[in-house]
Amino acid sequence: MPANILSGKPIAEAIKSEVAAEVADLRSRFGFSPCLTVVRVGEDPASAVYVGSKVKTAAEIGMISEEIHRPVETSRDEIVAIVDELNSRDEVDGILVQLPLPKHVDEREILERIDPLKDVDGFHPINAGRLTQGHDALLPCTPAGVIEVLKRSNVDVAAKHAVVVGRSNIVGKPMAMLLLQENATVTICHSRTRNLPEITSQADILIAAIGRAGFIRGEHIREGATVVDVGINSVSDPEFAKELFGDDLEKRLATIDKRGSTIVGDVNPKEAIEKAANFTPVPGGIGLLTVAMLMKNTVKAAKMRRL
């Protein structure tokens, strides 16, 4: 029986509606709206799209949102000065520096410069440390979105074996910590893991976050598992596309022909759908939760600082 598809759209819309209600309550009871400021440096097209989506969504749910855009040649000192100013502005509740930054800028230094109480991406070491110790913190948006999808789709996590493939600071490591907080037994796998299919095929919940198109195949998946695909990759080879897509193959091939590529996650969707009980699609799955959770973090940051 084909997998139940866990669409991210209704869950993301529900979260945004809940956040909009919180924003309206803050405005009516305390006289302010949370403010999100996004800093973008350079002309990366994907970054421009992502930032536009974040700023637009914040405005739609009643927040104050602003974008600070600087050219690619902006110096390290200028970017530091921007972050320092935003840290000092009391009306700014959330600061997000869109990655990637130009190569001459140390991303880690800039991210660590952000006030942890305004770190709505959840990347600051203080927030990472609080998460590791099980304390309340601003959480990385994508892993937090995964937990929301599992909970709101009635996928039990407690006492289940969860396997996370990927160990990045942005997704893999915080994902493991959040699953532990939900009382799962967690295994982390990565590029140096031996006998990967042997480990992943034991998972009740398998989370793929490695950045390799269609890497997780049927052999990696236990029959009846829940498979969460966090990856976003471009595929331009029609022959590779035929290995990945089933019922929607013709649509995907048409997209490659028209646009030069189509989007796929880290999981082979054709094979996953045949073995998994639940599966998050790409696009239309976890990616939609990232912006929604950013909005939720901004409201949380405003409450932590102001109330």
Per the residue annotation, which of 54, 118, 173, 270 is the catalytic one?
54
Bond before 34 cis per omega within 30 degrees: no
* Burial class of residue 144 (count of CB atoms within 10 Å of its CB; 0-12, 13-18, 19+): buried
Q: What is the mean pLDDT of residues 84-96?
A: 98
User: What's the whole-number mean pLDDT along residues 227-233?
Assistant: 97
Q: What is the mean pLDDT of residues 166-189?
A: 98
Q: Is 54 a catalytic residue?
A: yes
Q: Choosing from 121, 204, 229, 266, which is the catalytic residue?
A: 121
Tell me, yes or no, if the two domains 30-116 and 141-289 fold the same way: yes
What CATH class is the domain 30-116?
alpha beta
Mean pLDDT of the chain: 97
What sign does the dihedral 58-92-299-307 (CA atoms) show? negative
Sign, CA torsion 7/13/15/18: negative
HSE-up (13 A, CA, CB side) for residue 80: 9
Q: How is residue 286 written in tokens? A: 């976890």
64 φ, ψ to 5°?
-90, 130
What confidence category does residue 97 fall into, taking pLDDT thresholds of 50, 70 and 90? very high
pTM of the model: 0.96
Domain ranges of the chain: 30-116, 141-289
Distance in angstroms (rounded) separating the CA atoms of residues 30 and 264: 44
Q: What is the spatial distance between Cα 79 and Cα 69, in angstroms, rounded to a whole number? A: 10
Any catalytic annotation for residue 121?
yes
**Class for the domain spanning 141-289:** alpha beta
List 16, 93, 98, 173, catalytic entry: 98
What is the signed CA dihedral for 183, 134, 178, 58, rounded to 10 degrees? 140
